Structure 1
Amino acid sequence: MNVRPLFSLALLGLATLAFTASASESATECVDLGSNQEIVRAGSGQQIFLRDGQTHYRIGFARACDSIQMTPSLKISTDGQDNRLCPSGTKVRTKQANCAVNAVEIISAEEFAKRKKLGSR
């Protein structure tokens, strides 16, 4: 039995897993957001997508944040500090509600563009 094809296939599988893992990773530290932001709202109110400069995020909510779909503006803050995004303790404020964040993931620019395209339909 020739082991080379199996070994090559295993390496290809590992490379694919590494690429998939890097496409979306949980944020582990707080980030001070800049002024160059773009927000894409997802249909269900369970999440939003944020571009902050060259970095892109998926922000998930603990519960559905229905007001996120209707508000013209929102504020992200952690422990009272505006424009601070953390893996825990962050809130997104709309005019009607404060929505608790339970997930912050770093995503690719391609994923953000895909979500933006889907959101504009």
Structure 2
Amino acid sequence: MNMHSLPALLAALAVSASTLLAMPAHAADAPATGTEDCIQLGSDQQLVRANASRNVLLRNGQDHYVVHFKSDCGKAAYSRKLTFVTDGQQGQICSAGRSELRTDAGGCAIARVEPIDAATFKQKARQRTR
């Protein structure tokens, strides 16, 4: 190895390391999609809960989501009434355990809300009703 290229190599490694070290700090500043973000719920909703135990499908206006539960929530498939509640209030759904899906028999904590496109929503909804 040429001794003149060693300082250049060390400088390149230092720049690369500082870039890598800076990335997690920047990523921590911005909330990750689906972990802290909240969604305002409108009156135009569709909830697909057939065969629900780990998640339900939610259409809110033109937006589509898979709402994942923290643990099994089989009661969501059979409950007469379902309501999303965040901090005791209806009309909003958040990830990271802030919200729950209230059923006739209790509630199921929401782990995360995953945005999906309309085609995926339709495909998943068809699969559940078979």
Paired amino acid for 2:108: C
Report if the CA contact (8 A) 1:42-1:49 is conserved. Answer: no
Q: TM-score, normalised by structure 2?
A: 0.69
Check if 1:83 corresponds to 2:91.
yes
Candidates 94, 100, 105, aligned match of 1:96:
105
**Which has the higher relative contact order, 1 or 2, with Cα contacts under 8 A spaced 6 or more apart?**
1
1:29-74 per-residue CA deviation (whole Å, 9 max, x = no partner) reads 2111001100112525000010000000111111100110101320
Give every structure 1 segment of 4 or more consecutive aligned residues whose post-TM-superposition deviation is greater than 4 Å. Answer: none
Unaligned runs of 5+ residues in structure 2 are 1-32
Check if 1:40 corresponds to 2:52.
no
| Structure with the greater alpha carbon radius of gyration | 2
What's 1:62 paired with? 70
Paired amino acid for 1:103: R
Q: Distance in 1 between matches of 2:124 and 2:80?
A: 19
Unaligned runs of 5+ residues in structure 1 are 1-24
1:9-39 per-residue CA deviation (whole Å, 9 max, x = no partner) reads xxxxxxxxxxxxxxxx636421110011001
CA-based RMSD of the aligned residues comes to 1.5
The DSSP-based 3-state class of the residue aligned with 1:26 is coil
Check if 1:120 corresponds to 2:117.
no
What's 2:17 paired with? none
Q: TM-score, normalised by structure 1?
A: 0.74
Report if the CA contact (8 A) 2:50-2:129 is conserved. Answer: no
